[in-house]
Structure 1
Amino acid sequence: MQRLTLDRLAPFALLVLGTVLGLAGTDLVLPAIPALARDLGGTPAEAQWVLAAFTAGAAAGLLLFGALGAQQDWRRLLMVSAASFAAVSLAAACVDSIWLLIGLRFVQGACGAAAAVFAPAVIRALFQGPHAVRALAAFGSIEAMAPALAPLAGAALLARWDWRASFAVLAALGALLALALRWQAGRLPERLQLAADGSYVRLARNRCFVRLALSHAFSLAALLVIVFAAPAVFSRLSDAPVRAFVTMQMVGITAFVLVANGAGLVIERFGALQLLRLGSLLSAVSSAAIFGAALLGMGQTPVITVLFVLLCTGFGFRAPIGFHAALTSAQGDDTRAAACIVVAMLLTTALGTAVVAPFVDSGMAAPAAVAWLLACTAAVLGWRTAAPPAAGRAA
């Protein structure tokens, strides 16, 4: 990777914190959902809306910041995002109505979406070619830790205080991020190379971008459909379902981190297109293997865990390259492109999870079938694409 000077490290670290903070809006609060429903007089179904509202708000915020980022100073937008996220989080910690909390969660999700939009464009401004792919891999590796570690922190906060503590921590972290962004504003790139005449309509007409964006979104959704179904499936298959799920998550994340961070080195030898295709193929094969094992009655937790590691390995090969290639194909409209990619990931995962929800009590067959379909679609879309621009050997 290019020399990691303070001028590169500071914006990279701030963007990581901002993106992880947005993810923590769901994962840190997750263990407290039953408690807040009880304390606020809500039902379990209403408590699920606390999660869904945040996701819906995040999707709206991604599209909003994606459009504003091409017109306004991105540094100011990121500071406003962090400060407003802190204020809304603090307000959420003080509510006494679950429906008021649901409304605030939508606003909180929208406010916290800016870092996910701006991070790819800033990383591409700080690093070039394969170095940008490696930086995106490091960025994604840190992001991958949030879903594994944040629920543990949320559970510790809940055991020590109550559900309001998670929102108070989010408020404090958001305020610290806003202050850090103001303090380090001089180290942040003033201008990003963005298309002045870009639009969501133009992106929708860019067939190369649409194929690469959907390929990346479907590939991640294939993995997350398995993850979201695993707790319910493991509760039937294991005497210690929580431990089995945590084990699967940790070994899968470890595989992803190791492979994703090594992908930048492999690109220089084999080329980005070959690695993208290898990752897509491995994802399709491993999800098919999980489906086959479930159908044959071999879908026990150790088998699923081993095959899940292969699925994470496949995504690790293709994730940094696929995301970078999709951004590059947007021809400078990085903020809108990043927003579209993340929204596609959210919507595809939500749809896949909803489809398999009625069948998770029967085992891993239905989730694995949907994951296989998603992975195969991702492979076909990625296979039809020419060599990802600016990510190959010569970049």
Structure 2
Amino acid sequence: MTGRPNRHIGTFLLIVLGTVLALAGTDLVLPAVPGLPAILGGDLPRAQMVLASFTAGSAVGLLLFGALGARFDQRRLLALSLLAYGLISAACSMSNSINILILLRFVQGAAGSAAAVFAPGLLRKLYGDGGAVGAMGLLGSIESLTPALAPLFGLWLLRLFDWRASFDLLAILSTALAAIVTARHRHLPPMRGLATGGGYWRLIADPCFMRYAISHACTLGALLIFVFGAPTVFTVTMGGTLSDFIIMQMTGIAFFIVIANCSGALGRRFGDETMISIGTAIAAAGGVAMLAYAMAGGRSIHVVSALFPLLNTGLALRGPAGFHRAIVAARGDDARGAALVIVAILLTTSLGTAAVAPFIGLGLPALATGTALVAVAGLVSLALPKLERAAG
């Protein structure tokens, strides 16, 4: 099953919807979180655990499905994952205490992780190595809209109904998608990874795989570290508003969407390795430029917003090709490879955000330092050995 990214559109949409629903597990619920203590008890720190437990569960689920995908039919695992995600979402809606909700959110995050793990390998199988980069670029473009649009839709649901509405919607959509995946089982390419000896440790010990995993995790992690800290920096230390942050974020997303959908064609013309190197270098340059501006005493939100798209541009240029090369470097163990890359992104983002947090009151210099260090680390990791030309 090979072809261009505009073929097999129905199957492609199934894969996209599975990954988007998992992402929406955080963003759709986000607007309801501040009001949960008044309804379910607890306090605001406990309410934040509703978000943190979902992320922790997702990390566990990624590794679990990565291992299962190496042994069992990934199409069936995807359907089971979506069904479990829907049922647990319904259980979240029926929670009567915040502690129960926190526990269920951990399980919900783990249950919904299959789509993110299996999507890269499924797209590679569906379109072949030639079309997979373009398909991943389109997938990334659609996924990038979720953090921007899902909170707005979640706020609308909250105002129209109550906090349960977001969970109810996830339950309905996930259960329906599980039924569709089951019915269209034969339309998805048969997938089962290689249950090779060594498992995850084999990949971690492989410098070629780690080249792509680390560089991708650092490039995306640097972007997310900045995004997570920017609302506080803008509103507390730079005299801006959340509207300024939203404008910056939407501008960056627009850059990402346009460039990511060109990355496949650019890769075919100039080579995937060239796009990975250029994209990683642009992202690192964006982080360093942000740091230089901050250290020079810069406080203009407009300048920061003008520099921010460099991070998005770098990720868009290297992201689809970089993720694809990581899957190829896994040498048949696609599910474990994808799982490790995504876990690396989560760890890089969470550790970087935690490292910056104690200094966030210092404003842009602290945030830019964390962003630049992580982005430059991604560039340095390209010194590790690359795939041989014959490997894809």
TM-score range, shorter chain: over 0.9
Q: Write the distance in 1 (CA, Å) between the matches of 2:250 and 2:321.
A: 23
Change (3 A) 1:54 1:116: same
Q: Output the amino acid matched with 1:197.
A: T
Other-structure match for 1:134: 134
The 3-state SS of whatever aligns with 1:190 is coil
CA distance in 2, matches of 1:179, 1:156: 27
Q: Which residue of 2 aligns with 1:45?
A: 45
Unaligned runs of 5+ in 1: none
Judge which range, 97-106 or 171-180, deviates more.
171-180
Distance in 2, matches of 1:165 and 1:238, equals: 36
> TM-score, structure 2 length as denominator?
0.95
Shift of 1:90: 0.6
Deviating 4+ runs (over 6 angstroms):
none
SS at match of 1:331: coil
The residue number in structure 1 matching 2:323 is: 323
Report the equivalent of 2:10. 10
Tell me which residue corresponds to 2:305: 305
- Counterpart of 1:100, as a letter, is I
Which residue does the alignment assign to 1:201?
201
Counterpart Cα distance in 2 of 1:214 and 1:230: 24
CA distance in 1, matches of 2:380, 2:369: 17
State how 1:228-377 maps to structure 2 within 5 Å.
228-236=228-236, 241-377=241-377
3-state SS of 1:261 partner: helix
Is 1:238–1:244's contact at 8 Å kept on the other side of the alignment? no
- Residues 77 and 175 of structure 1: is their aligned pair in 2 closer, same or farther, counting only changes over 3 Å? same
Counterpart code for 2:98: I
The CA distance in 1 between the partners of 2:240 and 2:366, in whole Å, is 22
Residues 48-63 of structure 1: matches in 2 within 5 Å? 48-63=48-63
Amino acid at match of 1:77: L
Query: Contact conserved, 2:5 with 2:131, CA < 8 A, in 1?
Result: no
Kept after mapping to 1: 8 A contact 2:89/2:167:
yes
- Structure 2, unmatched stretches of 5+, are none
2:23 corresponds to: 23
User: Offset of 1:173 from its aligned partner?
Assistant: 1.1
Q: Distance in 2 between matches of 1:224 and 1:342?
A: 13
The one-letter code of the counterpart of 2:3 is Q
Given that residues 130 and 267 in structure 1 are in contact (C-alpha distance below 8 angstroms), is that contact kept between their aligned partners in structure 2?
A: no
CA distance in structure 1 between the partners assigned to 2:196 and 2:278 by the alignment: 35
Q: Which moved more, 1:302-311 or 1:331-340?
A: 302-311
Is the 1:325–1:390 Cα contact (8 Å) retained in structure 2?
A: no
- The answer to whether the 8 A contact 1:26-1:51 is kept is yes
Give the deviation of 1:196 after TM superposition: 3.1
Q: Is the 8 A contact 1:223 1:312 kept in 2?
A: yes
* Distance apart, 1:390 and its partner CA: 6.6
Q: Find the aligned partners of 1:147 and 1:390 in 2 and give their Cα distance.
A: 37
CA distance in 2, matches of 1:253, 1:176: 29
1 CA distance for matches of 2:167 and 2:145?
20
SS of match in other structure, 1:79: helix
Matched position secondary structure for 1:328: helix
Moved more, 274-283 or 117-126: 274-283
Q: Which residue of 1 aligns with 2:182?
A: 182
Displacement of 1:128 in angstroms is: 2.1
Structure 1 residues 214-223 or 286-295, which shifts more? 286-295
**Which amino acid letter does the alignment assign opposite residue 2 of structure 1?**
G
350-359 or 263-272: bigger deviation: 263-272
Aligned residue number for residue 386 of structure 1: 386
Deviates more, 1:166-175 or 1:104-113: 166-175
Alignment deviations for residues 175-212 of structure 1 (CA, whole Å, 9 cap, x no partner): 111111122112111234x2232511211221111221
Give the aligned length. Answer: 390
Distance 1:167 1:381, change over 3 A: same
Whether contact under 8 Å (1:273, 1:387) holds in the other structure is: no
Contact 2:4 2:127 (8 Å CA) reproduced: no
3-state SS of the aligned residue for 1:127?
helix
**2:125 corresponds to:** 125
CA distance in 2, matches of 1:294, 1:281: 20
8 Å contact 2:237–2:361 — kept in the other structure? no
Q: Does 1:166 align with 2:166?
A: yes
The structure-2 alpha-carbon separation of the partners of 1:39 and 1:125, relative to structure 1 and needing over 3 Å to count, comes to same
Residues 17 and 38 (structure 1), Cα distance of their counterparts in 2 relative to 1, 3 Å cut: same
String of CA shifts for 1:27-68, please: whole Å, max 9, x gaps.
111111111122111111111111110001000101111011
Q: Secondary structure at the match of 2:308?
A: helix
Residue matched to 1:71: 71
Deviates more, 1:104-113 or 1:371-380: 371-380
